[in-house]
Every structure is written in structure tokens, then in C-alpha cells.
Amino acid sequence: MLMAMPPLPALLAASLVVFFEVVSFGAIFPVLADYCKQLGGDAMWVGLLFAMVAGPRVVMNTVWGKLSDRIGRKPVLLIMTGGTLVGSVLWALSPVLGATMFGGLAWLAISRIACGLFQAQAALTQAIAADVSTNEKRTAAMGLLGAAFGLGIVAGISMGGFVGSTISYAAVGWCSAVAQVLSLGVIAFGLRETHPAHQAEAAPTAMFQPSTFTGLLQQPPLRHLLIIWLIAVIGQMVMVPTLRLISADRFDFTLADTTWLFIMWAMIGVFIQGGLIRVLIRHVAERSLLVAGLAITSGGMLVVGLTTSLSAFWVGMAAVSAGMGLATPTLSAMLSHRVNESDQGAAQGLNQSVTALGRAISYGMAGWLYAQFLPGVTYAVGGAICAVAVVGLLLIVSPRTRSEFHGV
């Protein structure tokens, strides 16, 4: 008789789930624009397809989190990963299905919506990390998930670029599906339940209640930060759906060239968020780091939008990545320090929802701008929006500490 496989340590299993899901997510970055054009779409459609993934996550991150509090983390992860697996299969079959009804572009859109509805694994694994870690070790636990996310992005972009350029864009969907099948295996056989259903009555559900979100938004420090972050995300994320387009239109980049550009972007983020930020935060105030990150991002976007020099283009993209790497974790820390311990989950939930909303707006706007104007206009507008966020941060958000808000 075969012995049952012992479960993996919960954090390791959660990190593997993040890695495999992000591999499938990152694989589309270098190829979605080309696949969209192959199926008859234009630049505006590219932006809309990216927005179709981000838009549903504004609401669904909260829905899946609440459900996991009621029935457990493991069954919800199985449902979500099964849903994103369907999305990947639909991606792969879009040309075939499109020959029978609706058209391939419509099926590609359905595949992106499916991923948007079910792609909340990264957020739910944070709940697992919170379940199994103490307050003192919480940051290290989240750091492990962050490292898995960064490595998954690099691996996914590499896989998507290679498969798309050597086999087909549709085949990227099958490769993503394989990663999700592996994730299902880890969840089913390697992940132990960290929040059983019988704990539902004792589980803190306030973080998912509208009244809690409304109460937090009534606090000026938190509200101001979230508004500024929404503006910043709208400015930053115009690069995601248009980077393949501008690199090909302006510098004749092949798919392989653009893949290397995405890899550089991801690796700089991994280096900063995985290590450098921990050193900087000891010596630089959080607000100063956030100002620096957004200012660097703004400058990099303007360089990318205005330059016709290939070397300046690479430098500008590196600056965008470095700025985003500084800004993203710093914003999360500033939010954390401006709410009570009992509201930490709600504050980060709001952060995730605001980020998803900003991405959805940015992706749609970027596609429209790129289709209507010169390629550089999209990045110039993005850089200007980030500059507005910097000004707002300097004028509205004070560098106060958490103790000044709550007396702790």
C-alpha cells in the first residue's frame, strides 16, 4: 500500500503555488500584443485584454478571501487554480474555437476574463503566511512569497517569449496550463489546511465587511495614501500593455528582444524588493523612499516616451523598474503603519483593490492612447501622472509615524 505524501511546510507550499501561478501570468506579458494582432485586434484591444484580467480582481480578491475564511484556504485555492487553468486552455484554443463561433479574439477575451475572476492566488497565500507566522516573523514570511513572485515573473516571461517565438503564441497557453496543473498538485497533495472550516465562526471577517472599508477610508492619512497610490498605479502601468508595441514600432525589437527587456524589468524589481529595500529603509524615511520611487518612475517614463536613442530607452526602462521596486513595498509599509493591528488585513485588502482598479484603468487608457496618438505619448502621459502623484504625496501626506496616529 502506498503511503500518503506528507504535507510540505505551509510557507513552502504557498510559495510554490505563487511561483507556478505567476509563471502562467508572466508568460503572457511578451506575447499578448502579438497574439492579439494575429487574431485581428489592435493596440486598443491589447489594453482592453490586460484590463480584463485586472478589472475583476478589484472585487474578487475580497470575495475569495471571505470564502477562504468560511470554508478554508485549500479548497478555495483549488477552485481558483482550476479557474485559471480553464483560462489558459481557452487561450490555447482561441484560434480553433474562433473558427467555429464568435471569432478568436472574443475567445481570447473570455480567457482573460476567466483569469481575472480566479487569479487571486498571490493574495490568498498571504493569508496562509499570516495563519502560520508570528507577528515577529510576518515580514520574513511575506518576503518569501515576494521572492517566489519575482522568480515566477522572470521564469514566466522567459517561457512565454521562448515558446511564443519558437512554437506559437497559442502554445503559451498550454505551457501555462502545465504550470497550473503542477500548482493543483501542490495544493491537493502538499498543502495542509491552515484555516479549517470549523474555525469560521472564530475567524475575523471584519476585514471583508463594507463598513470596515468605509471606516478606514474615513481616516485621512489612509485615504490620502490610497488616492495617491491609485494615481501612481494609473501612471506606472501604461507600460505593461504597450512595451511590446513601442519596442517593436520604434526600435524594431523582435519578440526575443522584448522578452529580454521584460526580464530586465523583472530582475531589477526582484533585486530591489528582495534585498536593497531592507537596507534603504534603515536609513531613509518611508515617505522619502516613496517620493524617490515615484519620481524615478516618472523620469524613466518620460525618457522612454521622448527618446529615439536605444541606449536611453534601456536606461529609461531600468529607471521605471527601479522606481516601481522602491515604491510598491514602501507604500504597503506606510499603509500598515497608519492603521491599528486589528485593521491590517482590511488596509492591505484596500491596497490590493486600489492597485487592481488602477491597473484596469491604466491598461484601457494605455491601449486607447497608443492607438490614437504617437507611441511616445502613452509614456509621456504616464510619466506626467506619476509626477502628479509625487506632488500630491509631498503636499498632502505627512511623514508621521504610526505612533502619532494611534498612540501605540
CB atoms within 10 A of CB 210: 8
Name the pTM for this structure. Answer: 0.77
Residues 6+ apart with CB under 8 A from 361: 51, 234
pLDDT of residue 212: 57
133 compared with 364, residue with greater pLDDT? 364
Over residues 30-53, mean pLDDT: 90
Give tens-digit pLDDT for 374-407: 888 999 999 999 999 999 988 887 665 443 334 3
One-letter identity of residue 289: L
Task: Estimate the crossing angle of helix 310-336 against helix 344-372, to 10 degrees.
Answer: 150
DSSP code, position 7: P
136 compared with 357, residue with greater pLDDT? 357
Give tens-digit pLDDT for 166-204: 999 999 999 999 999 999 999 999 888 887 665 545 444
358 compared with 285, residue with greater pLDDT? 358
Separation CA 186–CA 188 (nearest Å): 6
pLDDT of residue 139: 56
User: Is residue 49's pLDDT more than 70?
Assistant: yes
Domains of the chain and any CATH numbers: 8-194 (1.20.1250.20), 205-400 (1.20.1250.20)
DSSP code, position 237: T
Q: How big is the CA angle at 357 (ends 351 and 363), to the nearest 5 degrees?
A: 130
CB atoms within 10 A of CB 337: 17
User: Is residue 343's pLDDT more than 80?
Assistant: no
User: Is residue 47's pLDDT more than 80?
Assistant: yes
Give tens-digit pLDDT for 94-112: 999 988 888 899 999 999 9
